[in-house]
Amino acid sequence: MVFGFLKDWARDGNDVKEPIYLLEVGGGTGRCAYFMLKSLESLYMLTTESLPPIRYIWTDLPQKNVDFCASHPRFATFVQNETLDFARFDVEQDNELYLIHSKKLITTSSLTQPIIVIANYFFDSIPQDLFFFRNGQAFECQVSLEQPEPENTDSITESLTNLQLKYGYLRVETIDTGNHYKDQLLEEYQKQIATSHVLVPFVGFDFLERIRRFSQVGFMLLSADKGPCNLQELDGLDTPKLVTHGSFSLNVNYHAMGYLYELQQGKAHFPTHKQSHLNTVCLLMVPNADAFGETRQAYARYVDRFSPDDYFQLKKAFFRHLDHMDFHEILSFLRLSCNDPRLYVQCLPRLLKLSSELRDADKHTLFTLTEQVWDWYYDIGDQEDLAFLIGTLLYQMDFYEEAIEFYQKSLQKDGPLYYNMGICYYRLMKDEECLACMELSLGLDPESVDAKRIIHELERNDI
């Protein structure tokens, strides 16, 4: 959809030399940014059209997240070619962006091109307003938190689980938020909703308005989260329930966002069918938004026809049958996932079981896919050591040199790693390298009978 938007913008006779900024908010680990940059890099390589360059700005509030991403080795090339920069950004307060690497300050009307906002699992974790509508009346809900009993736990997640919400209701005699568009939204809900508690993302709207002022021509928003997109889904709702996973999150009222911007001649793209869990939405607040055909077609293809929510549903079915799938069935789904490293890790036990039965051509196919998976791997301190796991798979397929390369990338550095690496050298008849690895393995694991046996064999052969 981002690439479609870039083509729409270029084809409308706009500037293709000045960069378009992509602003990711609540960027977290940086994994989304890495995937976005890799995807856009490949699309730019394939296109023959003249498109504006991009500048991807990753942002988040916690300084530890900023430090982690700004120093991540996967981002080094993108930073070096000035495709990527970082900023610490408070979405509730900040009116400017200071970019860490370029030292550039983005403020009101700094950008002559539109800004593209990426906000995944973002609006659900910032403050929202809650209203109760009944029989044409509106009530502002006042929410308080109570913890029924003192908790003797150091776990934040457990403490949050025990919190209880208490609600008070204040009748709204006259709707007057100080913003004409917000007033229209609440008046519409007051007329159209019979009885319901409705979350209204006014803080999110105010954030988008501040981002909008960075650009002289508007913005595009791409967002994925749980929450309703149409008015019918808002009726009959009880008080909202908190989802606790180390923090709070709530459903996102995407209908309100679309309504607020379509009042201002914007364009909202929502799914035409109900999604099971995850909605992916696109809001265009740029001149002549209805004419952005490439963006509309991309949304139809990648959301309406087969959405991320559809993929997640299919993935659940995939895992139910994974233990009985054959090699080609697994590879097809890995390709559908765009070589997702996390999915690959989950498939590895089955692939290891099947690897001994593969023909040489299939082994080469799996090796090629594995290289692509590694290229998309973004390490956030995962429990699984992907390099070690790949090395083990390649060893079992007799790709000894390639296995050694991945073992050398592994962070494991223990007895089993050096033993496996030594066996690869043994198979390649590189006895000196094998002996060095086996001695390292034995030093880390003195009880290793297999390492002792290989060392004894090599020494007997007078290495």
What CATH number does the domain containing 117 carry? 3.40.50.150
pLDDT (mean) for 223-227 = 96
Confidence of residue 144 (pLDDT cuts 50, 70, 90): confident
What CATH number does the domain containing 447 carry? 1.25.40.10
Asked if the structure places residue 89 within a domain, the reply is: yes
Asked if the structure places residue 134 within a domain, the reply is: no
Asked if the structure places residue 137 within a domain, the reply is: no
pTM: 0.92
Cβ(286)–Cβ(220) below 8 Å: yes
Tens digit of each residue's pLDDT (9 = 90 or more) over 25-43: 999 999 999 999 999 999 9
Alpha carbon distance 452, 445 (integer Å): 10
- Total domains in the chain come to 2
Asked if the structure places residue 41 within a domain, the reply is: yes
Are residues 225 and 327 located together in one domain of the fold?
no
Q: Is pLDDT at 285 greater than 70 in this prediction?
A: yes
Q: Is pLDDT at 247 greater than 80 in this prediction?
A: no
Last residue of a domain, one of 306, 331, 347: 306
pLDDT score for 383: 82
Cβ(133)–Cβ(189) below 8 Å: yes
Asked if the structure places residue 6 within a domain, the reply is: yes
Are residues 299 and 332 located together in one domain of the fold?
no
Are residues 296 and 397 located together in one domain of the fold?
no
Are residues 348 and 425 located together in one domain of the fold?
yes
Are residues 299 and 365 located together in one domain of the fold?
no
Tens digit of each residue's pLDDT (9 = 90 or more) over 289-337: 999 999 999 999 999 999 999 999 999 999 999 999 999 999 999 999 9
Domain that holds residue 37: 1-125+202-306
Tens digit of each residue's pLDDT (9 = 90 or more) over 254-283: 999 999 999 999 999 999 999 999 999 999
Last residue of a domain, one of 263, 281, 306: 306
